[in-house]
Amino acid sequence: MKKSYKIDVDCANCANQMEDAAKKTAGVKDCSVSFMTLKMKVEFSEGADAAAVMQEVYKNCKKVEPDCEIYL
């Protein structure tokens, strides 16, 4: 399952850090973050609870970029 989320991030480097943090989260099969469109596209592992996984993605992204927002 793939989902797209609106994000708020200050720079392209921060977006790359968010992408890396999301990819390392359990339940995420793949992720791409676009600074230009301010969107995060997440592909979830089969059987993963998207809402629960996104809470963990949000926590992990906040660790690397405290000013970021993901609109769940």
CATH no. for residue 21? 3.30.70.100
| Cα torsion 17, 19, 20, 25: sign | positive
Domain that holds residue 30: 2-71
pLDDT at 24: 97
pLDDT at 59: 97
Q: pTM, whole model, 2 decimals?
A: 0.94
How many domains are there within the chain? 1
pLDDT at 12: 95
Question: Cβ neighbours of residue 14 under 8 Å, at least 6 residues apart?
Answer: 35, 65, 67, 68
Q: How far is the C-alpha of 68 from the C-alpha of 9, rounded, in Å?
A: 5
For residue 35, CA distances in Å to 52, 66, 69 come to: 24, 16, 12
pLDDT-based confidence at residue 11 (cuts at 50, 70, 90) = very high
The pLDDT tens digits for 26-43 are 999 999 999 999 999 999
